[in-house]
Amino acid sequence: MSPGMGWDGMGWESHGLPCPARPAAAMLLLHAPCSLPLPAEPSYLIPGAGWAPLAFPSQASFVSCHARFAPKLRRVPADSQWTEWRMASMAACQLQCQRITAMWVLVMCVIGKFAEANIGPISSVLPMSHDNAANYDDRRVLKLVEPAPLVLTYHNGPLMTQGTSIPVYIIWYGTFSRAQKTILTDFFASFGAALPAPSVASWWKITSGYTASGSSVPRSVRVMKQISDSKYSKGKVLKNADLESLVVGSLKMFPADSNAIYFVFTASDVDVEDFCMNSCASHFATAPSVATGNKNLPFVWVGNAGVKCPGLCAWPYAKPAYGPPGAPLLPPNGDVGMDGMVINTASMVAGTATNPFNTGYYQGDAGYPYEAATACAGIYGANAYSGYPGDLLVDPKTGASYNAVGANQRKFLLPALWMPSTQKCTTP
């Protein structure tokens, strides 16, 4: 342990004065000061050996290490009062530790039923006397457990495997500028662009591992036709049924093709059912009807969250609404909402192609499945963890962060996809 570190009941913390080094084999247990009688000297509990005294170099060092829980006892006492002061200080530490332990036990009670299956029973009480601590060897200790591997199971249904590319039809609902539309159409154009990795094409190549009846997902995605509904024909508050109605209504101009994906992109001033609560985008399938040629047509909705909830649906280009805080990254196309839509559109394209009717590849409940991209949520580069998207490329001119290049010199941030051959989340 480094100089200036002392035990404060929850961990080792600097108090400005040197404290004793911790023996290498020692185990500091949160319950120890509260469950065991105080030893004659401040001590560590060493598993299998009992109490080992702390070798405080000075009274001042002891004061420093205990001052946090005994703020009224910061003055170093005279030698004649040292023993009484020490015990009073440790009693103050013990009281504070009891409070902390009570809160900790409450938390552990809540999660205990889930932890028990992986880590075994948790010792609830330490020996009541440090004299028999050396013989108390059957308690279990919390330990890290390797998580179960992430596996997306194939459920024997159809994938989007017809043809050499997946046709895309777009409905722009609400007000989008030409520049905003171009960001997404350039993204779709990038699937077939011959560019060096990391690119949109190299990212999409991961889906070739998803097969059904010997056929895999096509290597390209192609925009066939677009229409705009800038007059908000169904208002600015939409239900999921309204999204389906927009798709079915568009079949007057689009063909009914069960091997295509129909996109409804909603503008930043449009509210959609569950948007900014538990959804940033979704994919569905229409009910068969006369208008659809009695087919289920896959369709996707993606909303522009740039105004309403960028921290939920455009992270890491906005401060996260929940979780570890962090400074937002600069979006490569200069529009937080649209760059967020690229991320969510990419997730939905992958999910729809590999699980169009909830009978393809997924893990979990069919109603709320983990799919090719959503199984890897929050991962955009190597070394990603909660609150950190991973190691990304940075444009030297703009400072924007991205992980794939696309058509027309575009740069995009794309989610990791689960790769069947490795059973791991893989980035472009």
- Residue 6's pLDDT band (cuts 50, 70, 90): very low
Which pLDDT score, from 0 to 100, does residue 258 have? Answer: 96
Its sign, for the CA torsion 347, 353, 357, 359, is negative
Cα diameter, the chain = 97
Mean pLDDT of 341-360: 98
Q: Label residue 185 by pLDDT band (50, 70, 90).
A: very high
What does the DSSP assignment read for 113-145?
A: HHHHHHH-PPP----SSGGGGGG----------
Confidence check: pLDDT of 125 > 70: no
CA gap 255, 292 in Å, rounded: 9
What residues does 223 pair with on adjacent strands? Answer: 168
Which amino acid would we find at residue 287? A
Specify whether the CB–CB gap between 123 and 108 falls below 8 A. no
Percent of the chain scoring above 90 in pLDDT: 61
Q: What is the mean pLDDT of the chain?
A: 78
Cα separation, 55 vs 62, whole angstroms: 10
| Beta-sheet strands, E only, within 23-125 | 43-46, 50-53
* pLDDT, position 304: 98
- Kindly tell me the sign of the dihedral angle through the C-alpha atoms of 103, 105, 108, 112: negative
* pLDDT value of position 322: 82
Q: How confident is the model at residue 393 (pLDDT cuts 50, 70, 90)?
A: very high
Helix count and strand count (H, E) for the chain: 8, 21
The 10s digit of each residue's pLDDT in 289-299 is 999 999 999 99
Give residue-wise pLDDT tens across range 200-256: 999 999 999 999 999 999 999 999 999 999 999 999 999 999 999 999 999 999 999
State the pLDDT at residue 102: 57
- Convert the pLDDT of each residue in 45-88 to its tens digit: 444 444 444 444 444 444 444 444 344 333 444 444 544 545 55
Task: Name residue 167's beta-bridge partners.
Answer: 222
Distance of CA 423 to the CA centre of its chain: 18
Q: What is the pLDDT of residue 34?
A: 37
Greater confidence (368 vs 138) lies with: 368
C-alpha–C-alpha distance, residues 89 and 74, integer Å: 9
Domain spans of the chain, in order of start: 5-135, 153-426
- pLDDT-based confidence at residue 331 (cuts at 50, 70, 90): very high
Pairs from 271-276 (Cβ < 8 Å, separation ≥ 24) = 271/236, 271/237, 271/238, 271/308, 272/238, 272/239, 272/240, 272/243, 272/301, 272/303, 273/238, 273/239, 273/240, 275/303, 275/305, 275/308, 275/309, 276/303, 276/305, 276/308, 276/309, 276/312, 276/313
Q: With beta carbons less than 8 A apart as the criterion, state whether 427 and 380 touch.
A: yes
Q: How confident is the model at residue 286 (pLDDT cuts 50, 70, 90)?
A: very high
| Whole-number pLDDT of residue 168 | 98
- pLDDT interval class at 112 (50, 70, 90): low
